[in-house]
Amino acid sequence: MIKYFKMKKEEIKLKLTVYTYLNAAIANSHDIITIATTLFNELKGSSADEIKDLFINSLVKIIHEQAEKERVVNGD
């Protein structure tokens, strides 16, 4: 009987974890849909190569800015 209650306790903890995750995902779905819609509208007239180039350029810019911030923090 004790084993049954321990099992039920673990089941409740698992359900709570899953339901909490689902609740957070549903709460954030509006923001995700808004971002995806905006991104689609911005890129719908672009070719695959243009999108790839934009992505690579943006990634390089982010990496460069992060490296600059680290240089300033480290005093290099």
Tell me the pLDDT tens digit for each residue of 7-56.
Answer: 999 999 999 999 999 998 888 888 888 888 888 887 788 888 888 888 88
Q: Inform me whether the pLDDT recorded for 76 exceeds 70.
A: no
61 exposure class (CB count in 10 Å sphere: 0-12, 13-18, 19+): exposed
Q: How far apart are the first and last CA of the chain?
A: 65
- Residue written as tokens 């672009």? 46
pLDDT tens per residue, range 53-67: 888 888 899 899 999
Whether this prediction's pTM lies above 0.95 is answered by no
pLDDT at 36: 83
